A and B are shown apart, each in its own frame.
Chain A
């Protein structure tokens, strides 16, 4: 239990000067994007991301 608590405490920390860890961002699922006609792989591949 002590290890679990320690890991939880560590995961809530960042380096000094960075503040607490923000929540992760939700990603649109590939199937959902595909249903809209969006190719996520292609979107990530296009030059604006490179």
Chain B
């Protein structure tokens, strides 16, 4: 971690490793900002960026699916009848979760819209640019659309559903969109934003999430390592924590397994280890995780009873640094290597990842 700071991968970061029963190890390095000396800790609040898609949005979708209120294979138009246009009638909720709806990845809502309502309307009006179910294109627009579906089905805004039914039962009291200014001193600053022309701290880094009013399904959540460890431990316990059941174990298995005939290394909302992504090389086939543009990542491996979390503000002061990718892999491999009984820095071929967990 210190080396990553010295290499300029990020100014500050926290790594947290745990199992279903608690924390195994933690590490913090650097400082939140050049002008902010305190070392980050497990209570530092980070802009999660696209971790919002799994921590928030996917959790909400999972709740509705387990309750039988949302059908993964139903057409999106069942829930949003006005979402029309060429090809859209065959797009399903599952397509949105697996980024295979045919929607483009992104559009500059923040340049096109002057109000959150306009930004939302632009998302709904965006045409497909690929046939549904043919190709995986990681799509922020698909995630925003899915948030609209959750809101419609739940009868309350998707962020309220997730806060009420997931974050509150898990006592994740620090996990929120639009964090209170009273917490500003604990929030890691992100970019000196050329568009907003200010150094961001406590407002969402993602420009489109900002254009949507700060509460968006694809980005906008802020949380701490301490809070996210509770979500990770709940997943490691197949849906429960401290005696409270939050999510259904069978539905979790549906969401975190690689689907047959998958177009990519994606489950439902969650990514799966691919051998070349941020999971590194020692996660089991049961593992699932995600990354966030601001420098965040979380991987959860039920087969090895471990989660590996890395929260950084690598976009401070600029998004240009891309070294975080190597750091994510190095941290995951180092931690899992030890759990698998490998010598320090043992190459994967000398200490195969499957040696330990495959016998469990």
Residues of A within 8 A of B (CB): 15-19, 22-23, 25-28, 32-33, 36-40, 42-44, 46-50
Asked if A17 contacts B24 (CB within 8 A), the reply is no
**Size class of the B contact interface (CB-based, 8 Å):** 35 or more
5 nearest A-B residue pairs (beta carbon): A17-B185, A26-B22, A49-B27, A48-B334, A19-B183
Could you write out 12 A-B pairs with CB less than 8 Å apart?
Answer: A15-B185, A17-B185, A22-B173, A25-B23, A36-B305, A37-B356, A40-B25, A47-B344, A48-B335, A49-B25, A49-B26, A50-B2
B182 and A22 within 8 A (CB) = no
CB-CB under 8 A from A18, the residues of chain B are 182-183, 185-186
Within 8 A of A (CB), among B38-52: 42-43
Determine whether the beta carbon of A46 is less than 8 Å from that of B224.
no
Decide if A26 touches B338 in the complex (CB within 8 Å): no
Q: A18-B183, A50-B2 are in contact. List 11 more A-B contacts (CB 8 A).
A: A19-B182, A22-B227, A26-B22, A26-B23, A37-B341, A38-B339, A39-B338, A43-B17, A44-B25, A48-B1, A48-B15
With A15-B185, A19-B180, A42-B338 as given contacts, are A49 and B15 in contact (CB-CB < 8 Å)?
Answer: yes
B interface, over-half SS: mixed
Residues of A within 8 A of B185 (CB): 15-18
By CB atoms of chain A within 10 A, which of B18, B19, B226, B338 has the most?
B338
User: Is the pair A43, B24 in contact by a Cβ cutoff of 8 Å?
Assistant: yes
**A22 is contacted by which of B224, B335, B345 (Cβ under 8 Å)?**
B224
* B42 A28 Cβ-Cβ under 8 A: no
How far apart are the CA atoms of A36 and B18 in the complex, in Å?
Answer: 13
Instruction: Name the A residues within 8 Å of B43 (CB-CB).
Output: 22
Contact (Cβ within 8 A) A25 B226: yes
B171 CB–A CB distance under 8 Å: yes
Contacts of B339 in A (CB 8 A): 37-38
Q: Which residues of chain B come closer than 8 Å to A22, judged between CB atoms?
A: 43, 173-174, 224, 226-227
